[in-house]
Structure 1
Amino acid sequence: MEELLRQDAAGQAQAVRDGLVSARELAEAAIARIEALDGELNAVVHRRFERALAEIDTIPARAPFRGVPILLKDLGWRQAGEPYHAGSRVSDERADAPDGYGVVRLREAGFVVLGRTNTPEFGSTITTEPVAFGATRNPYDPAYSAGGSSGGSAAAVAAGMVALATASDGGGSIRIPASLCGLVGLKPTRARVSLGPALGEGWNGFSCPGFVTRTVRDSAAALDVVSGTYPGDPYGAPELPGPLAGEVGRDPGRLRIGFLTAHPRGDVPEAPELTEAVTRAAALLESLGHDVEPGGPEALGDPDFPVHFGAIVANNVAAQVAMLGRLRGKPVELDEIEPRNAAMVASARGQSAADHILAAQWIDGFRRRMAAWWSAGHDLLLVPSLGVAPFPLGWIPSDDLSLAFGRTGHAVAYTSPFNATGQPAVSLPLHRNAAGLPVGVQLVAAFGREDLLVRVAAQLEQAAPFEHPAAR
């Protein structure tokens, strides 16, 4: 059974179809591993084991992922009848809310939902250390962060509790935990996955649902399951040429790829392990026949980007806090939420509606300037997944907000621009530092081109197979 737990979701589903294991046995093995490991890692904050086992017999026999265990991030990914806290002490339980559209599709595909994973309060930082539920630890070294905001999901998958877990990404929250936990983290194109029925968009379109997985084929197949628009969605993503799972193993052709080992803005300190990771990945891509050259979009160096991006995020956090107050019938006081979010809410209250719209319009122009680089003939951009080296728990302090925001800004320097542009990007576990901690590299494609990302990611995975020792 341990061997089955080390397989990816596609392998587990095949084992169930072949009769090598029953869906119940597979779920029970995953439950046992969660119970054995989570006391140290603190990845799973809500368990629904008995309900999950009771639901197995209702799964259609032909469901493609029948019996495969999965965990849901406790931010977005609402499930009817289950607690929902978004990492906050300000309870946001919505037992009477319907399943999110993505959860509906996961259950239709046969996944067995075992529980919900830890996340920082409101998903507004890059490490999972919420006051409400405590810190999630990295399976590679428990003294280190598993990243955020999908840190609980990433730690659970890296530790082998489940083969994949849901995630979301508003400024790097899929790619950063994937980098720190040695996983594949694909942020899809804006609106590839509906946020309904609860929302039309998240963080002005910056936030996208997705997954953290151990293989490229799982990321592709899982995204296929949940992709699609619903009536009432504000907009949709460009149609893909076919299922992403069908792109795995397909020849990407000879591509023109730019790469950066230093941030063009000039204010992001360089880390040797990040430079080494990108340099080695560039050499590997070149050895596979691609045209690889230094350089990237000029707009990426715009010093005004963090100000406008940060203002929009702060305004959205303030709106979320206001909604929580309405749901419970009294306003949320700033001392009820963590200092980081209280500072964002206070900042947002000093902004006008016109200020918010002007910031969004600035992002519109930034998006066009960024897109010009791909339109000029580039296929992919290669950059670090994380702007800083792997960091220990406590590195983002709660008692020094200036230091916390500064370090967070450096960490998301290579990820947040592509939330603003809505482009798809994937973090791949191609490197380790001297201490053996994972260091991911990120590939970014033009808007709507997840198909190209999957082809190249699978090509790299075959050339340099990903290792997952923490799952063993």
Structure 2
Amino acid sequence: MGLRRYDQGPQRADPPQPQHDGRSWSSSFHLGELTMPTYQDPSRRSVLKVGSALAVGGVLTPLQARAADDWADLDATGMAEQVRAGAVSPLELLDAAIARAEAVNGRLNLFSEKLYDQARARAAGMETRGAFAGVPYLLKDETELAGSRLHLGSKIDAVMPLSTRTDPTIARMEAAGFNVFGRTTMSEFGALPTTETAAYGVTRNPWSLDHTPGGSSGGAAAAVAAGIVPMADAWDGAGSIRIPASNCGLVGLKPTRGRTTGSDKWFPELSLASHFCVSRSVRDSANLLALVESEMEGLPAVGRVQGPSRRRLRIGVTSSSLSGRSPSPDVAAAMAGAVRLLEGLGHQVREAVWPLDTRAFQADFTQIYLAYGDRMADRLAAHVNMSRKVMIADVEPASRTVATMGRMISEAALRKVLSRVSTHASAYYSQFAGLDVVMSPVLLTPPVGIGVINGSVPLGDLAQRLTGYADYTMLQNAVGGPAISLPLHQSSTGLPIGLQFAADRGGERTLLELAFELEQARPWAKRRPPVWPA
């Protein structure tokens, strides 16, 4: 059976408007003067009939067109404030975001599917009192939305069924006023730290079209960095929030495992992935976490973080990667600059080393990665009602090789590897007895060039290139701890460089308070890349 690639024209015929799963929301958490909804019991929304997408030309009046650029400078919290004040309507915000998307997408290639009609229909009748009322939003293409299909960066999207449910985190966000108007590109199955696929082509970085925005949430990060939306949906299974945040000059928080709802249905053996966002401002990430966080056994809620803390932190600094490599001169300069900044702010900064056997961890994580590919292939084949052999014939060479190699890891061998994760986790968390935060690079280098890392590179070469590039972030996914990438530096050629700050399990408040302080000391939200809507 051949698989059909989705048409890449300017607008597809979209599937029917998503239906929610019948749950509704009640108000119990207050964001300042705003009421933040918490999950309760659903009510059905009507399915909106969708026709072909409206052309962007002629949508905006001259006044709206002039305001669109101003709105692009607002973060999501600011946009919602304008909606509640009556200064702009949800439909105006949406049409401005669509206009910005159409202005830059031809250069960036960040959409896997456009859902403009559904979003316009929703905006026209939207309640304007929600915490994020009317804020346009983009979904990463592994997030379920009822009535829409996942594409997963792969040609197998042609046989993916329409989702019958909306991801619980997204349902909560929609109830607070977010308006989804498209899906963003990702690496095939989220496996690589770039976004270049056989199915959807190359997604480019708005800071430099010759470089990657990162991955796997590359389309999301490119959209936010280019001013289309102030924040966008992202998942992080081995750095897929933090890596594109670093490459695109954004805030990228990976929460503690379980802090946000949603589980990894492809590999429940070890829930590596955390669901959250990439954003331009710390307050957007903080306010979103306050909205969507779930109760966690044994850990207090983060609540609403509103700014820096007066508490001075004990911050450990390590530059060495998990394989013992040293970062590039640009990244080393970023680390040195951050140390000076932290010390100038009064924090206690000292050198640290990884408190675990990093080589043993890497060996185990490699087996987990291969086993993940194998088990995901089986479960996807069952999901789309195809034979595994037929399905993987149409995936990228690297994906096919990973699934084949993962087949050699037995269930018994996988159980042994997974049993050692708790040992790695205990060693990792031991450092927080004497430290509040650990700072490291996100990546060994600034963003790599297009073509360096993608699914067509032979696996041996690909593994070497990955180890020389993305060799810090998978640790927090394996042990379940929180970490955040902050855009504190730029390379000698003007490319963004993020630095990673990690904390103990449940330590998101510490990370966000520090992020607020660093954002005030070295503001970044108003930086504009060369690709920005005119």
Q: Aligned match of 1:215 in 278, 281, 284?
A: 281
Aligned to 2:366: 310
TM-score, length of structure 2 as denominator length: 0.83
Q: Aligned match of 2:171 in 104, 108, 121?
A: 104
CA distance in 2, matches of 1:468, 1:93: 39
**SS in structure 2 at match of 1:276:** helix
Aligned to 1:294: 351
Q: Is the 8 A contact 2:236 2:242 kept in 1?
A: yes
Q: Is the 8 A contact 1:195 1:202 kept in 2?
A: no
Q: How far does residue 202 in structure 1 lie from its aligned partner after superposition?
A: 5.3
Q: How far does residue 328 in structure 1 lie from its aligned partner after superposition?
A: 2.8
**SS in structure 1 at match of 2:156:** coil
Q: Aligned match of 2:200 in 124, 127, 133?
A: 133
Q: Call closer, same or farther: CA 1:241–1:191 in 2, change over 3 Å.
A: closer
Q: Is the 8 A contact 2:110 2:203 kept in 1?
A: yes
Aligned to 1:233: none
Aligned to 1:143: 210
Q: Is the 8 A contact 1:138 1:181 kept in 2?
A: yes
Q: How far does residue 151 in structure 1 lie from its aligned partner after superposition?
A: 0.2
CA distance in 2, matches of 1:265, 1:402: 16
Give runs of ≥4 in structure 1 deviating > 6 Å: none
Q: Deviations over 1:197-250 (max 9, x none)?
A: x74975712111110000101111122222215xxxxxx46543542xx32314
**SS in structure 2 at match of 1:142:** coil
CA distance in 1, matches of 2:302, 2:288: 14
Q: How far does residue 262 in structure 1 lie from its aligned partner after superposition?
A: 2.5
Q: Is the 8 A contact 2:215 2:240 kept in 1?
A: yes
Amino acid at match of 2:373: V
**SS in structure 2 at match of 1:254:** coil
Instruction: Note the residue ranges of structure 1 that are not aligned, 5 or more in a row.
Output: 230-235
Aligned to 1:469: 528
**SS in structure 2 at match of 1:429:** strand
Q: Deviations over 1:258-309 (max 9, x none)?
A: 101233642x24301111111111111111110001113321x521212211
Q: Is the 8 A contact 1:424 1:446 kept in 2?
A: yes
Q: How far does residue 335 in structure 1 lie from its aligned partner after superposition?
A: 2.5
Equivalences for 1:360-371 in 2 at 5 Å?
360-371=418-429
CA distance in 1, matches of 2:470, 2:97: 32
CA distance in 1, matches of 2:373, 2:126: 37
Q: Aligned match of 1:205 in 271, 276, 282?
A: 271
Q: Call closer, same or farther: CA 1:463–1:405 in 2, change over 3 Å.
A: same
Aligned to 2:380: 324
Q: Does 1:95 align with 2:123?
A: no
Q: Tell me which protein shows more helix as a share of its residues.
A: 1
Aligned to 1:277: 334
CA distance in 2, matches of 1:389, 1:23: 37
Amino acid at match of 2:286: A
Moved more, 405-414 or 20-29: 405-414
Q: Does 1:339 align with 2:405?
A: no
Q: Aligned match of 1:184 in 244, 251, 268?
A: 251
Q: Call closer, same or farther: CA 1:166–1:441 in 2, change over 3 Å.
A: same
Q: How far does residue 192 in structure 1 lie from its aligned partner after superposition?
A: 0.6
Q: How many residues align?
A: 459
Aligned to 2:407: 349
Q: Deviations over 1:1-25 (max 9, x none)?
A: 2111111101111111111111110
Q: Is the 8 A contact 2:149 2:163 kept in 1?
A: no
Q: Does 1:45 align with 2:103?
A: no
Q: Aligned match of 1:435 in 490, 493, 498?
A: 493
Q: Deviations over 1:67-91 (max 9, x none)?
A: 000000001x200011211111112
Amino acid at match of 1:10: T
Q: How far does residue 393 in structure 1 lie from its aligned partner after superposition?
A: 0.7
Q: Does 1:417 align with 2:486?
A: no
Q: How far does residue 387 in structure 1 lie from its aligned partner after superposition?
A: 2.4
Whichever of the two has the greater Rg, that structure is 2
Q: How far does residue 93 in structure 1 lie from its aligned partner after superposition?
A: 2.9
Aligned to 2:300: 240
Q: Is the 8 A contact 2:237 2:274 kept in 1?
A: yes
Amino acid at match of 1:107: E
**SS in structure 1 at match of 2:346:** coil
Q: Is the 8 A contact 1:42 1:137 kept in 2?
A: yes
Q: Call closer, same or farther: CA 1:238–1:38 in 2, change over 3 Å.
A: farther
Cα RMSD after superposing both structures: 1.7
Instruction: Note the residue ranges of structure 2 that are not aligned, 5 or more in a row.
Output: 1-66
**SS in structure 2 at match of 1:336:** coil
**SS in structure 1 at match of 2:421:** helix
What percentage of aligned pairs have identical amino acids?
36
CA distance in 1, matches of 2:124, 2:191: 38
Aligned to 2:226: 159
Q: Aligned match of 1:384 in 425, 434, 441?
A: 441
Q: How far does residue 190 in structure 1 lie from its aligned partner after superposition?
A: 0.4
CA distance in 1, matches of 2:457, 2:381: 25
Q: How far does residue 127 in structure 1 lie from its aligned partner after superposition?
A: 0.3
Aligned to 2:502: 444
Q: How far does residue 313 in structure 1 lie from its aligned partner after superposition?
A: 2.0
Amino acid at match of 2:85: D
Q: Deviations over 1:159-218 (max 9, x none)?
A: 00111100010111000000000000000000111115x749757121111100001011
Q: Is the 8 A contact 2:187 2:196 kept in 1?
A: yes
Q: Is the 8 A contact 1:190 1:237 kept in 2?
A: no
Aligned to 1:86: 152
CA distance in 2, matches of 1:202, 1:427: 26
Equivalences for 1:65-76 in 2 at 5 Å?
65-75=132-142
Amino acid at match of 1:287: G
Q: Is the 8 A contact 2:254 2:483 kept in 1?
A: yes
Aligned to 1:232: none
